[in-house]
């Protein structure tokens, strides 16, 4: 899934882009995920139409001391931030919402609903049953001797391919010698970093 950040958006900021029924699904200060910021598990929030980031040193202290009042730094980004969340309602419906807020110098400029998918409990159960049936058919096929045989052949060939790649790769020490001789290593000391694991 990769790294992401959290962004806390008060429900009041979703007014006007959601109907009342959908709006009622969210917490007062709802936490969403985003991949449009630093992607280091940081925490951001929208407060008084301004974007804030939880202070990293504070964040570390909160984790250690469970402090109740984190420190927030004003952010002056000009960018669009997509954020999203998936959750299940009390009725068992599965919901996906994605929003886009545009910030200009850290101030909220515009907001929109990008995507909304609500799958009711019955539909989700029907889809799960369909997938279970399909997997049963696939599992039956996977039990065949020919499937198992060719799977083993594929794994063996992959191992051979990896072994062959290692055998014909230029050794790191030889590459280092060549780069020293040509002068590349002196000009770009980091040029060998991509070959360290080879």
The tens digit of pLDDT for each residue in 104-120 reads 999 999 999 999 998 88
CA angle 46, 75, 40 (to 5 degrees): 85
104 and 164 share one domain: no
DSSP letter assigned to residue 120: -
Number of domains in the chain: 2
Cα maximum dimension of the chain = 71
Tokens matching residue 99? 């929003």
Give the integer Cα–Cα distance in Å for 92 and 16.
26
Q: 42, 67 in Cβ contact below 8 A?
A: no
Would you say residue 125 lies in a domain? no
Together in a domain, 67 and 163: no
Rounded to an integer, what is the distance from CA 90 to the centroid of its chain? 26
Span of 67-71, 89-93, 152-156, 191-195 with lowest mean pLDDT: 67-71
Give the pLDDT of residue 66: 52
What residue numbers bound the domain in which 16 lies?
Answer: 5-120
Choose one of 92, 120, 148: the last residue of a domain. Answer: 120
Say whether both 87 and 169 belong to one domain: no
pTM of the model: 0.60
State both tokens at 161: 């391919």
Q: Alpha-carbon distance 53 to 56, whole Å? A: 8
Q: How many residues does the chain have?
A: 198
Give the pLDDT confidence score for residue 160 in this predicted structure.
95
Q: Do 109 and 177 belong together in one domain?
A: no
Residue 39: pLDDT band with limits 50, 70, 90: confident
């Amino acid at each position: 899934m990769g790294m992401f950040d959290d962004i806390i958006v008060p429900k009041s900021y979703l007014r006007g882009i959601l109907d009342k029924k959908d709006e009622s699904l969210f917490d007062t200060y709802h936490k969403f995920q985003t991949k449009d910021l630093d992607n280091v598990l940081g925490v951001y929030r929208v407060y008084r139409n301004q974007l804030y980031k939880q202070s990293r040193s504070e964040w570390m202290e909160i984790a250690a001391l469970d402090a109740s009042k984190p420190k927030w730094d004003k952010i002056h980004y000009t960018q669009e931030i997509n954020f999203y969340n998936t959750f299940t309602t009390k009725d068992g419906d599965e919901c996906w919402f994605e929003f886009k807020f545009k910030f200009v110098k850290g101030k909220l400029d515009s907001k929109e609903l990008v995507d909304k998918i609500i799958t009711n409990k019955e539909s989700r159960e029907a889809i799960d049953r369909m997938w279970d049936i399909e997997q049963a058919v696939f599992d039956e096929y996977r039990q065949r001797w020919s499937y198992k045989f060719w799977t083993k052949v594929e794994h063996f060939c992959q191992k051979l391919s990896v072994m062959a790649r290692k055998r014909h790769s230029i050794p790191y020490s030889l590459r280092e010698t060549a780069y020293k001789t040509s002068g590349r290593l002196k000009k770009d000391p980091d040029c060998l970093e991509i070959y360290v694991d080879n």
